[in-house]
Amino acid sequence: MRGSALLALFAGAACIALSPIWVRVAEVGPTASAFWRVALAVPLLWALVPFSSAGASSGRIKRQWPLLVAAGFAFAGDLAFWHWSIRFTSVANSTLLANLASIFVTLAAWILWRHKPSALFVAGLLAAIAGVALLVRTSREFSATALLGDALGVITAMFYAWYLLTVKGLRIRGASTLHLMAVTTTVTAALLLPVALLSGETFASATPGGWLKLLGLAWISHAAGQGLIAYALAHLPAAFSSVGLLFQPVMAALFAWVLLGEPLVALQIAGGLVVLAGIYLARRGSG
């Protein structure tokens, strides 16, 4: 069981790491690609629900609509801001900054519930801030829009932290992982649809290849990636899983280099390593 969970963890991280590549090559706008990412995944997720243990949780989850809407809104913000971040800055920067979510989760717990963070978390936070400063300095030399993309990446992390905290509350109330994914993905798609239509972006792909890219984003990166990681987290120690999930931004940078020809400069690599170290320490210090 441990071996299959480990494989699922790294496979899921690799699947999600492909998502910024799909966004970059999509024939639609960033908000539209965020919508199709969840909309095309909805039928697949609901088709899988009967094969999970979701039946026992369906009654409980129906009574949690305020939390479900909050989770859908948070995930919609996460995807929309991240997809725009990917358009403005490097894949490596946008993915690294989005992974600051775990730090914002602990900060929110500190502010809202007075859960005092450990010294190890504070050390990780300071390291992450130092790494972000290096990434921002690199962005100033990358392009005129890169700083905006970096800022959107940080906002992405805030929305994803909100999503994680809300999902944690739903899981405590008895919702199963797959059923929760299906419901929140549906809510997210419903929230993103009017935004995408009103944005003035290209909404639909004009070629079969364009639709295949969106299917890859929805089925491989969203459904398969999130599902594999959810399975792995249920069977692996939390500390080890925290390290394994840092595989995702590393793979995203590698995919961007190989598939998009996006270079990594020395200062950016240094900043990325410091951010990863900070996230790792912060996660360990969060218990």
Q: What is the pLDDT of residues 82-95, one digit of tens each?
A: 999 999 988 888 88
Task: Please state, in angstroms and rounded to a whole number, the distance separating the CA atoms of residues 268 and 185.
Answer: 33
pLDDT computed for residue 56 by the predictor: 46
If phi > 0 it is left, if psi is from -120 to 50 it is alpha, else beta; for residue 257 that is alpha
Of the pLDDT bands very low, low, confident and very high (cuts 50, 70, 90), residue 280 is confident
Burial of 60 (0-12, 13-18, 19+ CB in 10 A): middle
Residue-wise pLDDT for 225-262, tens only, equals 888 887 776 666 655 555 666 788 888 888 888 898 88
**pTM for the predicted model, two decimal places:** 0.85
Residues in contact with 264: Cβ distance below 8 Å, sequence separation at least 6, in sequence order: 92, 253, 257, 272
Write the Ramachandran bin of 279: left for phi over 0, alpha for psi from -120 to 50, otherwise beta. alpha
The per-residue pLDDT for range 115-138, each reduced to its tens digit, is 777 787 778 778 878 887 777 777
90, 162, 165 from 95: Cα distances, Å? 9, 17, 20
Residue (of 42, 100, 52) closest to 72 by Cα position? 42
Region of poorest pLDDT, from 52-61, 171-180, 204-213: 52-61
Asked if 220 contacts 18 with a C-beta cutoff of 8 angstroms, the reply is: yes
Q: What string of H, E and C letters represents the secondary structure of 265-279?
A: CHHHHHHHHHHHHHH
**CA dihedral defined by 109, 81, 212, 47, rounded to 10 degrees?**
40
Cα–Cα dist 276/273, whole Å:
5
Closest listed residue to residue 71, CA positions, set 206, 169, 210: 169
Cα R_g (the chain), whole angstroms: 18
pLDDT in tens, 32-81: 999 999 999 999 888 877 766 544 455 555 667 788 888 899 999 999 99
